[in-house]
Amino acid sequence: MFHAIARRQINALFEAVGRADAAPVLVAFASQFTHSFLGRSALGGTRHSLAATGLWYERLYRLLPGIKFDIATITLAGPPWNTLAVVEWRESNDGADGVKTENFGCHVARISWGKMVSLAICPDTAGLQTTLDRLATAGFAEAHAPPIED
C-alpha cells in the first residue's frame, strides 16, 4: 500500500516539474536533504538548501522550457522510513533557443516517511552537454554558468 501511494506522489512530482512548478518538489524534501545533478555543467552540482534548490529549478526552466518527462519505470524498495525509489525516464524540452531536444536518465531518491532526504538526478550527461553548448553558442550564457551549489 505504501509503495502505491509513493508511486502516485512521484508521478505527481514529475507532472509538477512539467508545469514548471517546483513548489511541490521543494515541499517534498525533508528538513535536511541533498539534491544532486550528475556532471559538471550549469545544472550539475549538489545543493542542501531549499533556496539553492529553488534557484536550480528556476535555471532548469529557463534553459529547458517546456520540459516534460515520460516515465518508463518506477521501482521502489524498503519500508516507509527508508525507501529507495529509482525512476527511469525520457525527457523532452523546447530549449531556450526553441530547438526541441530529448534526453534520458534516472532519478534515485531516498525517502523517509514521505519526505526526500536525497535526490540524485542522473541524465545522459553527454547529451545534456551538447544541448548546453548549443544554447551557449546561441547567446544563452547561463548554459555555461557555474553550478548552483551550497
Q: Is residue 149 part of a domain?
A: no
Supply the range of the domain harboring residue 111: 2-144
Residue 3 pLDDT class (50, 70, 90 cuts):
confident
The alpha carbon torsion through 89, 15, 21, 68 (nearest 10 deg) reads 50
Domains contained in the chain, number:
1
pTM of the entire structure?
Answer: 0.94
- From the list 68, 44, 69, the residue with the least C-alpha distance to 56 is 44
Q: Is residue 13 part of a domain?
A: yes
Residue 112 pLDDT class (50, 70, 90 cuts):
very high
- Whichever domain contains 120, its CATH number is 3.10.450.50
Q: Is residue 150 part of a domain?
A: no
What's residue 26's pLDDT? 98
